[in-house]
Amino acid sequence: PMESVIALTFIMASGAEIGTQFGAFLVFVLLVLMVIEIPLVAYLALPQRTEQVMMRIQTWVRTYRRQMTVTILFGVGCLT
């Protein structure tokens, strides 16, 4: 995914020691996997409730997509 490449680029450009860079990227990957795995496990345990929650999240994201995009681009712009 593109996010992994971007995260790796920021981590490698940090100038930290290689062990620190590897640890930072490992934490990033674990966080991404948590975002994916938690809904899957929840769906196995409570499929109807998980579907309701995910639909609310999807509606919220669609409603505020433009504001989130602008905020992310502004944040990245401030970092550079």
pLDDT in tens, 11-68: 888 888 989 988 988 898 898 889 889 999 999 999 999 999 999 999 999 999 999 9
Q: What is the largest CA-CA distance in the chain?
A: 47
What confidence score (pLDDT) does residue 1 get? 66
Looking at residue 66, what is its pLDDT?
95
The pLDDT assigned to 61 comes to: 95
- At 10, the amino acid letter reads F
SS (H, E, C) 37-80: HHHHHHHHHCHHHHHHHHHHHHHHHHHCHHHHHHHHHHHHHHHC
